[in-house]
Amino acid sequence: MVNIKFFGAAQTVTGSCYLIESEIGNILIDCGMFQGKEIEYKNALPLQFDVKKINAVLLTHAHMDHSGMLPKLTKAGYKGKIYMTPPTSALATELLLDSAKIQEMKQNENKYSESMPLSLNSPIIYDTLDAINTIKLFNSCKFDEEISLGKDISFKFMRSGHILGAASISISILGKNILFSGDIGRVNQSIVIPFTKNMDDEKEYNCIIMESLYGGKIHPSKNEELAVFYDKINYTIKNYGNVIIPCFAVHRTQEIIEILHYGYINKLINKDVQIFLDSPLAQKATKIYTSFSSYLMKYNKIYKSSINYNDGVDIREENEKGGAVSNYENRFQFDVFKTINHSKQSLRLKNKKQSIIIAGSGMADGGRIVSHIANNIADHNSSILFVGFQAENTLGRALVEGSTKVFIKDKSYSVKANIHKFSSFSGHADNDELQQWLSMFNKSNNCKVVLTHSEVQNSTIFAKELKEKNIDVYIPTEGDSIII
Ligand SMILES: [Zn+2]
């Protein structure tokens, strides 16, 4: 008998953690952090399972809501392997060390982490040593390679296209085939290669556990939004203002750098601009994206004229007539793009004009971006461009909802800068792409599709669509379990 338990991301978006139990072994899929003011207390609760009975941990991707509680496992005595793809290993290493460092710092004062904003009264969950002990257990596996965990248990990572290294996981155990989607990316809208099914994967799945974040929603066109994005930048630069872009360190920052790179070399952006990336964590993530260039798209299809990244060969000349070109090595580098390391350098950006400043956090609820917003918010020539999700009770949410006055570090500011939110930069599949992903896989007659990682209203809409196709659908609650 095979049993699956849902410990997180059940009728909510964060805290992914699922346990497969069987008489021949127990496998944990993801061990993520709960994020958001109302549920982050759950991170400090005792684990709801016995770590000594876990035989292996599989990680879908590096985002903290999937990986952020792995050191808590190690701290509780887990000594087995943690399997993931090589880029996920590189990214998770940086994110877990950052998360541990900030937890240690906040014991004395209310500090901020780009990977994990924590409120002052959150207890410390793990420290740097716990993170290091966790990273030592990391075990990298290639996409599409079947890995045996013993007789009658094996697994395989397949591209899910969400961020660098992100995977869906196919698990075969006691003759049952189970598929975990992980987070599903967009199709031809991203710098990473989109989701694919291994051509020789003819398995019939008995259970498919899939994210449904944007069930019932269709993303707007990225091409149309890009034109608006460049317009907003040019208007601001022409008027001697600054463009402030709050941005998540992993993936969104790299996509925005590439969009700016494309705009600059194609003369879609004012040539007088200076661009600053003011985030050490995003710089580390960008280096990792560069070093795993074979996982990225060579031809970026989001632009009207394609941007070509030809491995090691500079074909700039050849493409003078058409799309912008670069090679992999300088994909995230161009002459007006500068990185900021030290906080003193960051403070000096206050005196800049005609600049684009990218910094974390993506929701402007902490980090270096807060000062940049404070410096520019009262200037009607400046712009603040939001390119990601803005949760409730954040400065970002207040601004995109049109607040005319906000408090930043206890000081009141009138909002005079231009505020704009872009919706098409999402790294998650929309309703049609979720359907497309699901349709790739063979399903057994009694296959159950389990919807997770979503607010219940969105998964309910998606469930209705699947039921109309006679698919057996289930939306679990936290603590639920199902028998396969
Ligand atoms: Zn994710």
**Chain segment 297-322, per-residue pLDDT in tens:** 876 666 655 555 544 333 333 343 33
Q: What pLDDT shows up at residue 324?
A: 44
The token duo for 201 is 């994967």
Q: What is the pLDDT of residues 84-110, one digit of tens each?
A: 999 999 999 999 999 999 889 877 655
| Nearest in space to 190 (alpha carbons), one of 217, 168, 159 | 159
Distance 470 CA to ligand 1 centre (A): 29
Q: What pLDDT shows up at residue 392?
A: 75
Region 196-208: mean pLDDT is 85
Distance 146 CA to ligand 1 centre (A): 23
Q: Tell me if residue 221 falls in helix, strand or coil.
A: coil
* C-alpha span between 415 and 423 (Å, rounded): 21
Distance 65 CA to ligand 1 centre (A): 7
Task: State how far the alpha carbon of 279 is from the alpha carbons of 286, 364, 425, in Å.
Answer: 10, 13, 20
Distance 184 CA to ligand 1 centre (A): 8
Using 50, 70 and 90 to split pLDDT, how confident is the model at 323?
very low
> In the chain, pLDDT over 90 holds for what percent of residues?
73
Distance 116 CA to ligand 1 centre (A): 14
Q: What pLDDT shows up at residue 448?
A: 96
Distance 406 CA to ligand 1 centre (A): 30
Using 50, 70 and 90 to split pLDDT, how confident is the model at 39?
confident
Distance 60 CA to ligand 1 centre (A): 9
Q: What pLDDT shows up at residue 311?
A: 42
* C-alpha span between 43 and 69 (Å, rounded): 8
Distance 51 CA to ligand 1 centre (A): 24
Distance 62 CA to ligand 1 centre (A): 7
Distance 30 CA to ligand 1 centre (A): 11
Q: What is the pLDDT of residues 457-469, one digit of tens each?
A: 999 999 999 999 9
Distance 10 CA to ligand 1 centre (A): 15
| Nearest in space to 387 (alpha carbons), one of 218, 166, 212, 225 | 225
Distance 438 CA to ligand 1 centre (A): 18
Distance 291 CA to ligand 1 centre (A): 20
* C-alpha span between 177 and 10 (Å, rounded): 21
Write the DSSP string, 313-379. ---TGGGTTSS-EEEGGGTT--TTEEE--SHHHHHHGGG--SEEEEES-TTSSSSTHHHHHHHHTT-
Residue 428 in contact with residue 183, Cβ under 8 Å? yes
To the nearest whole number, what is the mean pLDDT of the chain? 89
Q: What is the pLDDT of residues 333-354, one digit of tens each?
A: 999 999 999 999 999 999 999 9
Distance 251 CA to ligand 1 centre (A): 10
Q: What pLDDT shows up at residue 302?
A: 61
Q: What pLDDT shows up at residue 313?
A: 37
Chain centroid to CA 233: 25
Q: Tell me if residue 229 falls in helix, strand or coil.
A: helix
Residue type, 480: D
Residue 225 in contact with residue 289, Cβ under 8 Å? no
Region 222-247: mean pLDDT is 94
Chain centroid to CA 151: 34
Exposure pattern of 446-477 as b/e (b: 16+ CB <10 Å)?
Answer: ebbbbbbbbebebbbbbbeebeeeeeebebbe
> Any idea which residue has 């509780």 for tokens?
76
Distance 61 CA to ligand 1 centre (A): 7
Is residue 328 predicted with pLDDT exceeding 60?
Answer: no
Please, where are the H alpha helices in 239-340? 252-265, 280-291
Q: What is the CA radius of gyration of the chain?
A: 22
Residue 425 in contact with residue 252, Cβ under 8 Å? yes
Distance 267 CA to ligand 1 centre (A): 33
Residue 251 in contact with residue 183, Cβ under 8 Å? no
Distance 158 CA to ligand 1 centre (A): 15
Q: What pLDDT shows up at residue 190?
A: 85
Distance 255 CA to ligand 1 centre (A): 15
Distance 183 CA to ligand 1 centre (A): 5
The token duo for 162 is 């969400």
What residues pair up with 481 in beta bridges, in sequence order?
5
Residue 109 in contact with residue 80, Cβ under 8 Å? no
Q: What is the pLDDT of residues 396-437, one digit of tens each?
A: 999 999 999 999 988 999 999 999 999 888 899 999 999 999
Distance 63 CA to ligand 1 centre (A): 5
Distance 17 CA to ligand 1 centre (A): 13
The token duo for 448 is 């159950």
The token duo for 91 is 């990214």
Distance 442 CA to ligand 1 centre (A): 25
Distance 272 CA to ligand 1 centre (A): 35
Which residues crowd ion ligand 1, with CB under 5 Å? 63, 183
Q: Tell me if residue 422 falls in helix, strand or coil.
A: coil
Region 121-131: mean pLDDT is 85
DSSP state letter for 296:
B
Distance 13 CA to ligand 1 centre (A): 10
Distance 162 CA to ligand 1 centre (A): 7
**Maximum CA pair distance of the chain?**
68
